[in-house]
Amino acid sequence: MFNFYLYNKSYERANAIQIEENLLVLNDLVIMEHVEEDSFYKNDSIWDTDTADGNFSDVIFSKMQDKQFSMQVLPRLFQAIASISKEFSNLEEFDHSYFGTYNAFYGVIFDEPISDKYISNKETYSAFKNKYLWDVTPQSLWERKENLFSKLILCPDVEEHLKKIGSQYLSQIIKRLIALDKYAVKEWTKGKFDYQKANASSSLRISPESEATMSQKKYCEQRTFRMPNGTTRCFELHIKTGDLRFYFYPEDGKIFVGYIGKHLSTMTIK
């Protein structure tokens, strides 16, 4: 969970052009490119903030160069930003009120010492997100899965698997998932997925199940997991992660991870 608060003070020395540019970026982050884990907040006192070109409210509705943006887009943007009763004057206050999440101020000009938690454009936004994105728990790994991976898709049952596993093997799991996703992005660009090629060009060590194991219906059923569209597949390819295994199914340029957990039964391991 990432929280962003419109910091009143950061607009005090900003002129109309700087504020317009800043709000164009904010509109992208809040409306056009919004991700579910981001929340944006403001205190209504921001409307009365004195800027370099006058009152904030007056500036954004009468001094913007792009009148269409000012009159049609900004009302929708500020409606999408939640109003909260408390006005924050520093990050410590924000962190105290929103404990357990990643908090940052959004604005134009920050007088405080440089911090990665002062966001003024997409570059600083991306740097902030990338720094804390991989600081995950089993639950937040599931919640951020679309943002963390490009070609990996965690199937529905994996959410429960991660809860059962807890944090003990989490770092190992993440390293393997990152490596598999990286391989798929850079190397598996066409054709059928080749696990031997993947092993030769990475440290993944992917293994298929033996023919003897897969010929037994009960073992195939153990490896049958739900896909995101509700269908099921028998997952054969797997990677070792410490004492755990995760099974995946490559299809149409995507890698579906259906299971993360203890070793499943085989012809030789019951």
The model's pLDDT over 107-119, given as tens digits with 9 standing for 90+, comes to: 999 988 889 999 9
Q: pLDDT tens digit string along 198-242?
A: 999 888 999 998 888 888 888 889 999 999 999 999 999 999 887
Residues near 247 by beta carbon (within 8 Å), at least 6 away in sequence: 223, 225, 235, 236, 237, 238, 257, 258, 259, 264
**Residues 128-155 pLDDT 10s:** 998 888 888 888 899 889 888 999 999 9
Three-state DSSP at 270 gives coil
Q: Give the pLDDT confidence score for residue 161 in this predicted structure.
A: 93
Angle 122-108-85 (CA atoms, 0-180°, nearest 5)?
100
Report the distance separating Cα 113 and Cα 181, nearest Å.
37
Cβ(55)–Cβ(49) below 8 Å: yes
Whether the pLDDT of residue 243 is over 90: the answer is no
pLDDT tens sequence across 26-85: 999 999 999 888 999 999 999 999 999 999 999 999 999 999 999 999 999 999 999 999
3-class secondary structure, 64:
coil
pLDDT tens figures, 256-265: 999 999 888 8
Q: Tell me what the pLDDT averaged over the chain comes to.
A: 92
DSSP 122-146: HHHHHHHHHHHHT---HHHHHHTHH
pLDDT computed for residue 120 by the predictor:
97
Cα–Cα distance measured from residue 112 to residue 105, given in angstroms and rounded to the nearest whole number = 11
What was the pLDDT predicted at 263? 85
Contacts of 152 (CB under 8 A, 6+ apart): 145, 177, 180, 181, 184, 254, 255, 257
Closest CA to 235 of 195, 175, 179, 199: 195
